[in-house]
Amino acid sequence: MPEWPGVRAVPLDLLRQSVRDSSIAIPPAADAIVARTEDRLISGPDRDIGIRCYWPMGEGPFPMTVYMHGGGYVVGDLDTQDMIARALCAWGQTLVVSVDYRLAPEHRFPAGPEDSYAALEWAAAHGRSLDGDPARIAVAGDSAGANYACALALMARDRGGPPLRGVVNIYGSCNYPSDDTPSAREFVDGPILRGDDVTWFWEQYLADPAERDDYRASPFRAASHAGLPPHFVGTAECDPTRDDAEAYAAKLGDAGVPVTMRRYAGMVHGFASWVGFLPGARAVMQDAGAFLKTVFGQ
């Protein structure tokens, strides 16, 4: 199969449509069975935010997980990582609230993390009406969405927001990209994600390069990581952002945060979306589900 072209060479509307078309064609895991789903609109900072709720099988009240999809801050929606949300719901036995946050470059930083934080606050305030348990809330994401999940943990700590039981970070770098780590050098030409792709996504996301130091954009750069909830960090071996994500796991550990960090051999950035047929993807999603069950006390 020929390698995908670099994202810089693809018009934005075509990039979004091609990602959407290819993503919704990917089958979910056949045994990631959810009881039902429901799309809603909730109030956000500047506009209504779309969410999709997933209920697990069984009887509630269920612990709750606010999930943000990946897509480099630029692409993706409630459908493109539906398979990940389903796996979290089924294997974590958690009610999942998936967030359709605003995308760059039309809505640059901090629109995405602020939309996501508004959804977290909404989930905490309205959880009981969803048959959820607001006393047991986690956040989760993949790639850019994982950066948002990690930022939300810091935002909730510093704003006196909903107390979180845990954070799931699936290949989220949590830092403005470095081109001088071993993984960035080894996988500068991919597979799937190139070093220049990473740079381009961040160029769309930040209006001012100085924003890279804001912890809502780069959680790694927070002044302190003390007092954060347990984190699960899953990385892909063949990913230019791998070392940044693993450095964040190490920084959390140094701050006394309980961290479960696993690198998945032979995997590439985005691999969790292939949970329906790829053993490595199934492994990371089952590990994330087991982590959620643990932090929820199930």
Q: Which residues are catalytic?
A: 143, 239, 269
Asked whether the beta carbons of 107 and 183 are under 8 A apart, the reply is: no
For residues 207 and 185, what is the distance between their CA atoms, to the nearest angstrom? Answer: 26
Closest CA to 294 of 171, 168, 173, 174: 168
- Token pair for residue 279? 């053993």
102 φ, ψ (degrees, to nearest 5)? -70, 145
Distance CA 248, CA 243 (A): 9
Cβ 245 vs Cβ 193: under 8 Å: no
DSSP code string of 203-226:
HHH-SSGGGGGSTTT-GGG-S--T
